């Protein structure tokens, strides 16, 4: 559930988009973290600040922002979307106008971007870079409109609660629970549409889009690959909750640098995030707001998409494919790695990289600090969920067996002070899976700092590169 510098809460240092007009730039990073002072920043105190910024700042402002987008600009609808919140007209009306104007600008830029990258006519490399710059700038400006509602922050809930009851969840997922081994089938190979490529500071970048096999919308992924290697190994890396790098200019990325070392990186936009956001919700919010059903729905949808992406990557050549993720992305990746035992070889990943993960979803939901900060447990208990009632559903949420790859091909990065995805659950999973000690990177950091830390201490990424060498 990592929000590793996701937008203006952590004040991104944005660099000029590109010095070379035909090439996308390297994204800007935390200069402080990359400096010699980084060791002082990436400590548990930073995690306390980050957690409070997210739970008490970013989430409530995002709640107002999502309501404003759904309102169509009308004050009455905005108030309805924020049921029970006192919304003064003098504060709300300017924000509503700004949100609608920025949304219209973004939709126009996104349509132009789509024509440039997927349309019939190739506009050339300079125009592609300009289209991506315009799309990202417009997205960033739209996302920033959250802060128009800053005066309302203390009145706003962090999450829109529409928790599904146990009976509702049984009606949707009961059949899957009866046969957990077949609960995550590999998706039939979808027709993946590949955009025009554009050069970047890392190599060659392009986008994939295809019909989402479960969610029913369009699934998207950005691909960053070496410029001069024909069949590189691939890392498919899943993001954390509410992480939307495709929507924020200047977002620091954890794994793009691997493309400079001969590894293709595929970064999907997860269900309910970015271009896939549900109207009336902010990015990733349904996973929490729907209660257990939110996580069950998201895991089912995203794991199917993982199988399709592994299939697509392996069809590009005979190089190995790793699956990875951070926080919520890691929870999905580890469950997918177990489901892959029942997938065809073309859909089965060869290695696994888990950052800030836990083997216990009960621990995440009831003991995790983010879940506590948004009052998840009282909300789900109010509609009839008890800890005992959740236990039968864990086979669809937790790794219940060994992963499809050998334990020597599993890498885990854990923070001793991680209380969002509590580290005890991650350490227990490493023991159960018999992950070699050399592949476990446990640090005196918390959830956010251990995630950002792999940009500073690259040992886990170096280890992944070594494993790819062994698999090739």
**SS3 assignment, position 206:** strand
Task: Say if residues 361 and 37 touch (Cβ distance below 8 Å).
Answer: no
Task: Say if residues 370 and 54 touch (Cβ distance below 8 Å).
Answer: yes
- Residue 69, judged by CB atoms within 10 A of its CB (0-12, 13-18, 19+), counts as buried
Return the bridge partners of 237, or none: 324
* pLDDT score, position 411: 98
HEC assignment per residue over 284-311: CHHHHHCCHHHHHHHHHHHHHHHHHHHH
Tell me the C-alpha distance between 399 and 334, whole Å: 6
Tell me the C-alpha distance between 221 and 244, whole Å: 12
The list of the chain residues with pLDDT below 50 reads: 1-18
Closest CA to 424 of 370, 360, 365: 360
Tell me the C-alpha distance between 102 and 147, whole Å: 13
Task: Say if residues 397 and 339 touch (Cβ distance below 8 Å).
Answer: no
Tell me the C-alpha distance between 16 and 367, whole Å: 42
Other CB atoms closer than 10 Å to residue 96's CB: what's the count? 26
* pLDDT score, position 146: 97
* pLDDT score, position 180: 83
Query: Which DSSP helix (H) or strand (E) runs through 415?
Result: strand 410-415
Tell me the C-alpha distance between 11 and 203, whole Å: 27
- Segments of 159-283 assigned E as strands: 193-194, 198-200, 204-211, 218-225, 234-238, 264-269
Q: What is the pTM of this model?
A: 0.94
Domain boundaries, the chain: 166-471
Q: How far is CA 382 from CA 291, 366, 369, 379, in A?
A: 11, 14, 20, 5
Task: Say if residues 302 and 219 touch (Cβ distance below 8 Å).
Answer: no
Closest CA to 299 of 370, 381, 193, 397: 397
* pLDDT score, position 237: 98
**SS3 assignment, position 351:** strand
- The number of angstroms, rounded, from the C-alpha of 336 to the middle of its chain's C-alpha atoms is 15
* pLDDT score, position 19: 55
Tell me the C-alpha distance between 460 and 357, whole Å: 14
Tell me the C-alpha distance between 147 and 141, whole Å: 11
* pLDDT score, position 4: 37
Q: How far is CA 404 from CA 84, 204, 233, 312, 360, in A?
A: 48, 30, 18, 18, 19
Task: Say if residues 459 and 430 touch (Cβ distance below 8 Å).
Answer: no
Tell me the C-alpha distance between 195 and 122, whole Å: 10
Buried b (16+ CB within 10 A) or exposed e, 157-171: bbbbbebbebeebee
Q: What number does CATH give the domain 166-471?
A: 3.40.50.1820
Task: Say if residues 237 and 351 touch (Cβ distance below 8 Å).
Answer: no
């Amino acid at each position: 559930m990592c929000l590793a510098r996701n937008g203006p809460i952590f004040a991104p240092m944005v660099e000029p988009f590109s010095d070379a007009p035909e090439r996308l730039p390297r994204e800007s990073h935390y200069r402080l973290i990359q400096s010699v002072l980084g060791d002082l920043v990436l400590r548990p105190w930073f995690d306390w600040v980050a957690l409070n910024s997210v739970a008490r700042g970013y989430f409530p402002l995002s709640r107002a922002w999502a309501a404003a987008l759904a309102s169509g600009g009308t004050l009455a609808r905005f108030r309805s979307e924020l049921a029970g919140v006192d919304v003064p007209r003098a504060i709300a009306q300017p924000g509503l106008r700004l949100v609608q104007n920025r949304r219209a600008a973004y939709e126009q830029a996104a349509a132009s971007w789509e024509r440039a990258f997927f349309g019939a006519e190739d506009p050339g490399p300079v125009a592609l870079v300009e289209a991506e710059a315009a799309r990202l700038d417009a997205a960033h400006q739209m996302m920033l409109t959250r802060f128009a509602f800053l005066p309302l922050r203390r009145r706003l809930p962090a999450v829109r609660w529409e928790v599904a009851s146990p009976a509702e969840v049984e009606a949707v997922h009961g059949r899957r629970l009866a046969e957990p081994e077949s609960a995550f089938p590999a998706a039939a190979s979808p027709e993946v549409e590949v955009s025009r490529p554009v050069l970047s500071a890392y190599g060659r970048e392009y986008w994939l889009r295809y019909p989402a096999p479960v969610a029913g919308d369009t699934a998207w992924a950005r691909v960053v690959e070496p410029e001069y290697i024909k069949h590189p190994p691939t890392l498919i890396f899943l993001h954390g909750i509410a992480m939307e790098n495709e929507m924020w200019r200047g977002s620091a990325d954890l794994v793009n640098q691997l493309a400079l070392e001969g590894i293709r990186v595929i970064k999907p936009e997860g269900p309910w995030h970015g271009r896939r956001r549900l109207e009336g919700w902010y990015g990733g919010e349904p996973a929490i707001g729907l209660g257990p059903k939110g996580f069950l729905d998201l895991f089912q949808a995203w794991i199917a998409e993982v199988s399709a992406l592994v299939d697509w990557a392996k069809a590009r050549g005979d190089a190995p494919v790793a699956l990875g993720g951070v926080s919520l992305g890691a929870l999905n990746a580890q469950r997918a790695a177990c489901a892959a035992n029942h997938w065809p070889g073309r859909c089965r990943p060869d290695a696994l990289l888990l950052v800030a993960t836990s083997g216990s979803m009960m621990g995440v939901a009831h003991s995790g600090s983010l879940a506590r900060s948004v009052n998840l447990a009282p909300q789900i208990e109010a509609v009839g969920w008890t800890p005992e009632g959740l236990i039968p559903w864990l086979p669809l949420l937790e790794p219940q067996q060994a992963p499809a790859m050998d334990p020597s091909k599993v890498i885990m990065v854990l923070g001793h002070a991680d209380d969002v995805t509590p580290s005890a659950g991650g350490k227990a999973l490493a023991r159960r899976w018999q992950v070699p000690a050399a592949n476990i990177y446990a640090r005196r950091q918390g959830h956010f700092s251990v995630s950002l830390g792999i940009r500073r201490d690259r040992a886990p990424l170096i280890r992944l590169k070594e494993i790819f060498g062994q698999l090739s």
